[in-house]
Structure 1
């Protein structure tokens, strides 16, 4: 019952925002800005850039709010805008992701199962280590592990192949483990 009230409140805020209510827009911003800033920060890795992404994403969202059809939640719709804005910022930085041929991928050992069992670290230490990853690795790792995108979706968002996404993810995990071991955490 409580979640229904919560959802109804958000839908009514969206409806008011569609009608031009600045107060409703501000309330939606207040409700979602912290979570969306975290999403942006995990992708771009810099708080200043994340704040810029957040502002631009909200501007886009409020301009396009009339197109929001409530087929999904406002939060998920907004998150997609934030992710796309963050990715566009990284593209402007000319993020380098190396396209690999199919036979090169087979030569990369899949340590995913072993790594998953070993990763029992404190969240803050892992977050700090993720910040140290090269940008391409951090983006793919964040989109996959933290934002829930699959490799096909990551490939579409970043304009890379699904195999490149998988490779970047495996390399990111390996590099993350190396960073954690060097810090005496693993």
Structure 2
């Protein structure tokens, strides 16, 4: 039996499917800020994130007839935003280096559950993330902020799970270096 999720915006989605411009606007109003944040964390540029947001909503509204409620509208829209963001980065020639298996000896199987050796202020971390190379920032954002696991990130970015883990670990190290340079602000 197929799972059907009834989310709190079900009626808006139904009205939108029936052509209601008011319902479309309301869905946009409810989700645009969160989806802009998702896009911005991935692409690292507000103007490009705004473009991604607009294109994602156009895609969503054009494909709404295909939305079968096997997930919530918000999760479905988030997938569109993430995919659009990744496509934008690919257009920028995002290059993730595929590592050979013998270079992966020291990579742990799983990330520690509680990695709070250092507590950073949110603003400093966000600023530091902006300075990361695209590949590092994307994997770090997808893993830490969007909640994807390395297998899912590998599928989204068309890389191996090990490459995702490696990029994540390198991104964490690089972010720590950036934040340490900030010095006493921490």
- What is the TM-score of this pair, normalised by structure 1? 0.91
Instruction: Measure, in 2, the Cα distance between the counterparts of 1:47 and 1:119.
Output: 28
Give deviations 1:38-74, integer Å, cap 9, x for gaps: 0000000000000000000000000011111112111
More helix by percentage:
1
Which residue matches 1:144? 143
The answer to whether residue 42 in structure 2 is matched with residue 43 in structure 1 is: yes
1:165 match: secondary structure = helix
2:132 match: secondary structure = coil
2:19 match: secondary structure = coil
**Structure 1 segments of 4+ aligned residues over 3 angstroms from their partners:** 107-110
Report deviation, 1:137: 0.1
Which residue matches 1:156? 155
Instruction: Measure, in 2, the Cα distance between the counterparts of 1:59 and 1:16.
Output: 16
Alignment of 1:29-178 (within 5 A): 29-107=28-106, 113=112, 116-178=115-177
Report deviation, 1:116: 1.7
Instruction: Measure, in 2, the Cα distance between the counterparts of 1:76 and 1:109.
Output: 30
Change (3 A) 1:69 1:118: same
Report deviation, 1:117: 2.7
Alignment of 1:6-17 (within 5 A): 7-8=7-8, 10-17=9-16
Instruction: Measure, in 1, the Cα distance between the counterparts of 2:169 and 2:54.
Output: 32
Structural RMSD (CA): 2.1
Give deviations 1:86-134, integer Å, cap 9, x for gaps: 0000001110100000111115589x54x92323111111111111111
Which residue matches 2:18? 19
Instruction: Measure, in 2, the Cα distance between the counterparts of 1:143 and 1:53.
Output: 16
Q: Which runs of no fewer than 5 residues in structure 1 stay unpaired?
A: 1-5
2:120 match: secondary structure = coil
Instruction: Measure, in 2, the Cα distance between the counterparts of 1:63 and 1:121.
Output: 41
Q: Which runs of no fewer than 5 residues in structure 2 stay unpaired?
A: 1-5
Q: How many residues align?
A: 180
Give deviations 1:11-40, integer Å, cap 9, x for gaps: 100000001111110110011000000000
